[in-house]
Structure 1
């Protein structure tokens, strides 16, 4: 229901796409039956006029199959694209209306992966799963009823074969995809995070000598993603081959049934009986891929729901316990990259300032006012001076009104960190969570600034609670230290 509420596809358009799909594959089914009758009847060399209607029907079904198939593609893709567009609009509206902390806690690479590829995976379920499944169900029933009118035994074999191709094979494909998709989704997000880090901070990373390592990490994440997909390929290949095996079983069963009916049924009837199953499986052949698409859509929908409903994410991560903080506490979460420092902060109540928070291509003033809209110019100037940007501000041509052209590209990595720290100072939240606030600063400046952040009488008042995630602490620091590992 949540996915339907997100996509809100127009039911009339979806039914139109299904109708076109049924007409397209129904034309293929009718084409097989009429062609079988025509070939067998022509072998009996009747008057040409006896074959005229069948010849015209063959042409009509051949043309209508392609025409209706094209119409189905237009209708289904139109429905999916409209649904994806409206889903993104609703997601952005929900994110805009949500508390700022819920969005700022997310890395930009994670947001790109979820709102981009995640919505595509959810919308694809209309084209790749809903329409093919409905079409296969209608065509399967029609084929069984038609064959059953000729031979109940063949109809029973056809039913069993269709269940193998249309139920068992998709179930195997879905189970295999489910095991690998969650891992693949994680690698996808991590790859995008590493890639965006390289794109956003290429110059600073190159100067620091870390760019090759970041690029190597992005490439490694891509390889891990590829291996996760490969792990799902083996059982998926078996599931993809199942429809072909089921088709063979059904045709063999029809052939044996035809032999037993040879004395009591007309040759044309036997030809229809043996060729009809070939077209009956055309619809079910797409079902293993449909099951995989449905599984991916469920994973993507769950991640999108976690994006807009933080409580859902918390329920899925019961292993992450938030910090218990008292007013005025100073806490340092220390550990190497990847140990879970940021995750711990994300599950702690407070105002979160991410290390990759966005700098907008607007004035310095506006970039600070996002933290507190009623702050005066004196408040902003004082905050900049306290974080060590007083001299930088004095050299700007228009002071606080100077436009940061390109946003983060207009400042160095260290200046960006100090600007983000100034935002935290301006904010009046009682609990402040800082993620790597001194990254990209030289060691002495980082130690000085970090000591000032953690000191009870330092940058933040003694009545405000401060939690900092960092790789290291100054030697003289005596604050409470927590290690996620």
Structure 2
């Protein structure tokens, strides 16, 4: 709960108002039970009708106020939760932006969506489904026991014990039942989202490789496994759900026994209140088992969100003593996929983030569902149409641009889905050409291009004064290089050796 409140930062005033409205709403139900019990018993005695008028009006007023106050409580609670979820997402975005580049880069897009979406929602639900119901139950249970004690201390003791069973034991059992299965389910959930995002983001490439059906089947399998894990969680939780019912029965039976012993001496109205008040007192505790389950989910979500911005392996980034960059340098980083080329580029970008002198252009950078012009202006907002057209011409997209119905104003419906893989790569390269960063970091800029075009572009990228001015530094991560290029070359293996050396030194120090 503390971790959730620290991340969500709900407004205390709104939170207190939601709790107050919840107490008044269920308090109206509790008062309605007391007044209705008195009215039924007193009416049986056939008094003058004027003796019952106030009670009749009170029953109507309490019945109406319960619905109205309950609606207001829902409005206040959801307003508080939605604002808190917005606070949490803003805070997480700021933490990711301020963290080292590889803090976010280590997560797949599907995992980021799952954590920033589903996990934040699970955390915000703790306000609606746990925090406020717990506070309301504590207040109303205490009020019910105190009110019943004025009629019978013995009945109040029985009610208090039953409320402890329904409000503490049952939620504890439900939380224990859900904990293990929820931990497993969240893993299946993340796996399902990751597989689904891979199928959506790389559908054409997966279809060509013959793996699209396999990826969709994997997403379906993960979703099915998640359903099975949820079913397993529900079985022991059903046992926990039966405990409050048993507690209600025990309280009602205890109240009946006490009322029987008092029937000879107590007023009929008192006996009626002793019988009906305990039944209404459990309405507030009925939501507590579900609240305990939501607390478990919130704890898991808080842990996943903390991992999102945690330092990579808790160790410092490697020193770049062997690949220091000078003005006008051309550096090629060679290595196969997964060898650490992207990590090296993000390390260089982080080293030059203060001041912001390096622009990192990722292999899978996003194309927005907007115009061609706006997709290029994200690199430099003051670029002219002539500069944008020249950049597209340089990367070989001028025929494509001329064929568009509205030129630079043509909307790319669906973003990357509106272009081929090769056109997307050229658009991202044009975005880099439009930028004015002194240091340009390009991750696989020629992927999905034919060999001839790829070699031609690599030569122009790594030759000073061709695509980029001789005073700008260009670092390119690639699988291969044409022969005879006048540039420095570092392999990903060399970088990994330095990284592992730094990691060993850090482990020795700690």
The answer for the alignment partner of 1:175 in structure 2 is 176
Residue 191 of structure 1: aligned partner: 192
SS state at 1:46 partner? coil
Structural mapping, 1:197-276, within 5 Å: 197-276=198-277
Alignment of 1:32-181 (within 5 A): 32-181=33-182
What's the counterpart of residue 471 of structure 1?
A: none
Q: CA RMSD in A?
A: 4.8
CA distance in 1, matches of 2:232, 2:486: 50
The separation in 1 between residues aligned to 2:361 and 2:179, in whole angstroms, is 34
Alignment of 1:394-433 (within 5 A): 397=402, 405=412, 407-413=415-421, 416=424
2:285 aligned with 1:284, yes or no?
yes
How many angstroms does 1:121 deviate by? Answer: 1.5
Normalized against structure 2, the TM-score is what?
A: 0.71
Matched with 2:302 is 301
State whether residues 162 and 284 of structure 1, in contact with CA within 8 Å, keep that contact through their aligned partners in structure 2. Answer: yes
Pair 1:356–1:432, CA change in 2 (3 A): closer
Q: Distance in 2 between matches of 1:19 and 1:460?
A: 73
Task: Give the CA deviation at 1:393.
Answer: 7.5
Residue 289 of structure 1: CA displacement?
A: 0.9
For the Cα contact (< 8 Å) 1:125–1:294, is it kept in 2?
A: yes
| Distance across 2 between alignment mates of 1:35 and 1:250 | 19
C-alpha displacement at 1:304, in angstroms?
2.1
Unaligned runs of 5+ in 1: 336-340, 374-379, 469-478
C-alpha distance in 2 between matches for 1:79 and 1:460: 60
| Structure 1 Cα separation of the partners of residues 124 and 8 of structure 2 | 7
Q: TM-score, with normalisation over the residues of structure 1?
A: 0.75
2-side partners of 1:362 and 1:263: how far apart? Answer: 82
Change (3 A) 1:362 1:48: closer
Whether the 8 Å CA contact 2:395–2:430 is kept in 1: the answer is no
Farther off after superposition, 455-464 or 19-28: 455-464
- Displacement of 1:423: 9.7
Shift of 1:246: 0.8
Count of residue pairs the alignment pairs up: 454
| Contact map agreement 2:335 2:479 (CA 8 A) in 1 | no
Please tell me whether residue 358 in structure 1 is matched to residue 366 in structure 2: yes
**Cα distance in 2, alignment partners of residues 463 and 110 from structure 1:** 33
Q: 1:321 to 1:157 in 2, by over 3 A?
A: farther
Q: In the alignment, is the contact (CA less than 8 A) between 1:104 and 1:354 conserved in 2? A: no
Map Cα deviations across residues 277-299 of structure 1 (whole Å, 9 max, x no partner).
Answer: 10000000001111112222222
Q: Secondary structure at the match of 2:214?
A: helix
CA deviation profile, 1:265-287 (whole Å, cap 9, x unmatched): 22221111111110000000001
CA shift for structure 1 position 141: 0.3
Following the alignment from structure 1 to structure 2, what is the Cα–Cα distance between the partners of residues 80 and 290?
15
In 1: Cα distance, 2:490 partner to 2:428 partner? 17
Asked if 2 retains the 8 angstrom alpha-carbon contact of 1:28 and 1:279, the reply is: yes
SS of residue in 2 equivalent to 1:82: helix
CA pair 393-183 structure 1, distance change in 2 beyond 3 A? farther
Give yes or no for contact 1:350–1:433 (8 Å, CA) kept in 2: no
- Report the 3-state secondary structure (helix = DSSP H, G, I; strand = E; otherwise coil) of the residue aligned with 2:264: coil
SS at match of 1:68: helix
Displacement, 1:88? Answer: 2.5
CA contact (8 A) 1:38 1:51 kept: yes
CA distance in 1 between partners of 2:290 and 2:10 (Å): 21
2:492 counterpart (466, 470, 484): 466
Q: Does 1:453 align with 2:479?
A: yes
Residue 107 of structure 2: SS of its match in structure 1? coil
Decide whether aligned partners of structure 1 residues 266 and 224 sit closer, same or farther in structure 2, where only a CA change above 3 A counts.
Answer: same
